[in-house]
């Protein structure tokens, strides 16, 4: 079955009882049991729900994984990986360019639980190799990264993890399985904020995991049930609905991102553009090798710092200043005070998240309207 067909059918067979072509929303908390110890495969919706199971089976198929798990948010999915697989004294090596919420989870929650965390240069596998310790149990990577869109070599990290008997988790939110499938490149766990491109319509919060190994799956599944941060059936259904159009949306997102990145690259008010689809991007060749496309995210550096950024955001009419990304509408984000505010200023600056950095999520509007909106907003 080809990818576009999986989007429509994986985990989503017609309802046996009614023939409904859409998975029903099983809006129930509990299920009738025929006798003591004899249920019909379902007992309580924190443990399992048919609508949620359809979503879990779908993401597993899309990511070439054996198992899928759904959560109430992307951070709930991340928490389940860390809480389900690691213990006090274990060590994690994470890429240095990563979502601010992930950094906050690492530093403000799990470090207090006794987890040890080191950061490596997201662009340099040798930096990850150097950071490995005897107690390293997990490598954590985003690619493309948030917000600087660096490209991490998944095959190289998989090899490092394997040699050190560690697991490799890859946050695939920006690329989606349409453009990149990390398990095919050697990863063990794939993480998604399904709030973003998978849901695709800015109307649902969720997280997903795709897992290769049964033992890893069972440990994280246990944590999912024990901690209980699961999505309701309506959220699962909305995410499935969004996934059906992923292929057509991602093509439009990428087309618009190319238009936006090309325009920004030649603008006098912009000092740098981050988009792996540009041949000038240092990770372009690697992205061309391990991805099937370059995605819909573009970041850029304004020459005038925060003052220029404030003027820019005030003039936007099509792009909306907002958190999040991956919806059909174009969004503009100021990472320093929004998505990456949890990272201390000194550390943000060290990582390249400056006062002039703007992150754009190109929607699926007409590309000419997006370029004209940016052109108008960049006239200082």
CA dist., res. 219 & res. 213, Å (int): 10
Phi and psi for 138 in degrees, rounded to 5? -150, 135
Q: Find out whether 80 and 233 touch, Cβ atoms under 8 Å.
A: no
DSSP string, 339-364: TTTTS-HHHHHHTT--TTEEEEE--S
Per the structure block, which two tokens stand in for 128? Answer: 């990850």
Q: Is residue 126 exposed (0-12), middle (13-18) or buried (19+ Cβ within 10 Å)?
A: exposed
Q: Is 266 helix (H, G, I), strand (E, B) or coil?
A: coil
CA dist., res. 234 & res. 253, Å (int): 26
Tell me the catalytic residues.
46, 99, 171, 196
Residue 106 bridge partners (DSSP) = none
Sheet holding 297-302, edge to edge: 270-274, 297-302, 357-361, 331-333, 320-321
Residue 193 bridge partners (DSSP) = 207
Where are any strands of DSSP class E within the chain? 67-71, 91-95, 116-120, 136-142, 167-171, 189-193, 207-211, 270-274, 297-302, 320-321, 331-333, 357-361
Phi and psi for 83 in degrees, rounded to 5? -75, -30
Q: Is 96 helix (H, G, I), strand (E, B) or coil?
A: coil
Nearest to 61 by CA among 168, 177, 186: 177
Cα 201 to Cα 87, 187, 195, 234, 360: the distances in Å are 37, 28, 8, 14, 16
CA dist., res. 102 & res. 210, Å (int): 18
Q: Which residue has the tokens 């988009």?
A: 275
């Amino acid at each position: 079955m080809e990818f576009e067909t999986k989007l429509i059918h994986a985990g989503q067979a017609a309802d046996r009882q009614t023939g409904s072509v859409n998975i029903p929303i099983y809006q129930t908390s509990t299920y009738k049991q025929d006798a003591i110890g004899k249920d019909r495969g379902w007992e309580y919706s924190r443990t399992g729900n048919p609508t949620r199971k359809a979503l879990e089976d779908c993401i597993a198929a899309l990511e070439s994984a054996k198992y899928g798990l759904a959560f109430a948010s992307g951070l709930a999915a991340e928490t389940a990986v860390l809480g389900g697989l690691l213990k006090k004294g274990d060590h994690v090596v994470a890429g240095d360019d990563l979502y601010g919420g992930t950094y906050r989870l690492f530093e403000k929650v799990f470090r207090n639980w006794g987890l040890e965390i080191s950061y490596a240069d997201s662009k340099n596998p040798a930096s990850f190799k150097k950071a490995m310790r005897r107690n390293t149990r997990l490598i954590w990577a985003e690619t493309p990264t948030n917000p600087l869109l660096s490209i991490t070599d998944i095959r190289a990290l998989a090899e490092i993890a394997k040699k050190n008997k560690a697991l490799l988790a890859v946050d695939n939110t920006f690329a989606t399985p349409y453009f990149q499938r990390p398990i095919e490149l050697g990863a063990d766990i794939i993480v998604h904020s399904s709030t973003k491109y998978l849901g695709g319509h800015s109307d649902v919060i969720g997280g997903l995991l795709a897992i290769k190994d049964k033992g890893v799956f069972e440990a994280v599944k246990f944590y999912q049930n024990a901690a209980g941060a699961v999505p309701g059936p309506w959220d699962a259904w909305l995410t499935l609905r969004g996934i059906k159009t992923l292929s057509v949306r991602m093509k439009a997102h990428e087309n618009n991102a190319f238009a936006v990145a090309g325009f920004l690259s030649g603008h006098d008010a912009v000092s740098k553009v981050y988009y792996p689809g540009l041949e000038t991007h240092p990770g372009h060749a690697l992205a061309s090798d391990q991805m099937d496309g370059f995605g819909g995210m573009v970041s850029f550096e304004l020459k005038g710092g925060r003052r220029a950024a404030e003027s820019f955001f005030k003039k936007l009419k099509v792009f909306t200043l907002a958190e999040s990304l991956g919806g059909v509408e174009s969004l503009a984000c100021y990472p320093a005070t929004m998505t990456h505010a949890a990272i201390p200023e000194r550390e943000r600056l060290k990582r390249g998240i400056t006062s002039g950095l703007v992150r754009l999520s190109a929607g699926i509007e007409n590309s000419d309207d997006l370029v004209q909106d940016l052109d108008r907003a960049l006239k200082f």
